[in-house]
Every structure is written in structure tokens, then in C-alpha cells.
Amino acid sequence: MQTQLETFETNLGSVRTGVTRTSPAAFQDVLGDVIDEPAIGAPIPFAELSLEGTGVVLEPTPDQLREATCGVTAAALGVADYGTVVLESTPAGAELAGLFPDRHVVVVRERDLVADMAAAFERLGERFRDGNDDAVLATGPSATADMGDLVHGVHGPRETHAVIVEDAAE
């Protein structure tokens, strides 16, 4: 029997998303390994984690947005069954950082995993009614088959990578 975390990892793999597991303490080190510079991002809304001092530009200009090869943003939820991450829009431009650069690194906390879409929609319903009312269910990189063959990286990222931050042991 797989744990929810393992299911999530397996499914991320099957939607072409790389996975790195880490702890809050090792987060910044690990991040250094999976980002390509120039990198941009949006502040991570989790108290125990931060992008400050990682070389990720947090308030990009349009030019920096255009030039960045990598974007780092946080996910509000991870849906284990699908390998889906839930990306919320923020006034700081999280949506843009996860969309423009070629590589998207998404930070998901283990505690924010849910088993399936039904659970995800329940949580999202609450968040939407509370005023966090934009979200993208993102599953793998952007893709198209319109040019005669499957190609990854169309208007959105070509590569996706999830950094999963495990819950600290009690």
C-alpha cells in the first residue's frame, strides 16, 4: 500500500514532473540544485520556508520575466491521484512566474496533499469562498499535439519539477 505521498510522487512522475523530497531545514540547499538561473519567483506563503537569499528574483520586471529560465512558486495543494498541483494567483505575480519561464519549480508541502479531486474541490471551495478565488490545477508541463506530434512547452513551461517539503517529525 502506497502512502499518499508516494502516490503523489508516482503520479508526478507519470505526468513528466521531476520530484525532490526535502525537509524545511534543507529546503534552500535543495532548491539551489533544482533551479536554473536566471530564476524568478513569488514569495512562498509558508512560515517555515522562504526564497529570500536563494538568488531567485522575487519582484521581477517584465524584462526579467521574459528572460528567466526558471520560475519558483508555491502550490496551495497537491492532488495525489492525478499528480496535480494547485497554483494560486497572487498580486505578487505567482501565476506569471509559474507560466512564462521554461522550467517551473513548484514547492508543495506534504501537509497540503489531498487524495483526490473530490477532496481538492472541497478545499478549494472553502478557499474560493474565503476570497482566494483564482487557481490553476496544473498537471505536468504545457503540451500540444496541434502541430502533428506531441510537443511539451508551448505557451507554458516545458519542464516541471516539484519540491516536496516533508512534514517535520513531531
Partner 1 sequence: MATDRSRTADRIRRIMAAEGDSVERNTRGFNEGRYDSVDRLEEYDAYKDRARAIKEDAIERLPELIERVRETVEENGGTVYLADDAADANRYVRELARERAAETVVKSKSMTTEEIDLNEALDAEGCDVWETDLGEFVLQVADEAPSHLVAPAIHQSREEIAALFNEYFDPDMELETAEELTAFAREYLGDRIENADIGVTGANFVTADTGTMALVTSEGNARKTVAVPDTHVAVAGVEKIVPTFEDLQPFVELIARSGTGQDITSYVSLFSPPVATPPVDFDDDGPIADDPADRDFHLVLLDNGRMDMREDDQLRETLYCIRCGACSNSCANFQSVGGHAFGGETYSGGIATGWEAGVHGRESADDFNDLCTGCSRCVNQCPVKIDIPWINTVVRDRRNRGAEDGQLDFLVEGLTPDEEPAGMDLQKRFFGNFATLAKLGSATAPVSNWVADTLPSRLAMERVLGVDRRRDLPEFERETFVEWFRNRDVPRPVDADYHAVVYPDLYTNYIRTDRGKATVRTLEALGVAVEVPEVASSGRAPLSQGMIATAEDHAREVSANLEPYLEAGYDVVAVEPSDLAMFRGEYERLLDERRSETIAERSYEVFEYVYGLLENGVDPASLSGADDAGGAGSALAYHSHCQQRTLELEAYTTDVLERLGYDVVTSDVECCGMAGSFGYKSEYYELSVDVGERLKEQFEMPEAADRTVVASGTSCLEQLDGLLARRPRHPISLVAPDGSE
Tally of CB atoms within 10 A around 72 = 29
Q: Rounded to whole angstroms, how far apart are CA atoms 14 and 120?
A: 20
Q: Does 134 bind partner 1 (CB under 8 A)?
A: yes
- Smallest separation (angstroms) from partner 1 to the CB of 36: 18
Core vs surface per residue 2-22: b (16+ CB within 10 A) or e: eeebebbbebbeeeebebeeb
Q: Does 85 bind partner 1 (CB under 8 A)?
A: no
Of 107, 42, 29, the C-alpha closest to 68 is: 42
- Smallest separation (angstroms) from partner 1 to the CB of 51: 14
Give the per-residue contact string, 135-154, with partner 1 (x = CB under 8 A; - = no).
xxxxxxxxxxxxxxxxx-xx
Core vs surface per residue 82-102: b (16+ CB within 10 A) or e: bbbbbbbbbebbbbbbbbbbe
Q: Does 41 bind partner 1 (CB under 8 A)?
A: no
Among 1, 129, 169, 170, binds partner 1 (CB under 8 A): 129
Q: What type of residue is 61? A: T
Among 65, 69, 110, 166, binds partner 1 (CB under 8 A): 65
Q: Does 45 bind partner 1 (CB under 8 A)?
A: no
Contacts with partner 1, residue ranges (CB under 8 A): 59-63, 65-66, 82, 84, 88-96, 99, 117-118, 121-122, 124-125, 128-129, 133-151, 153-157
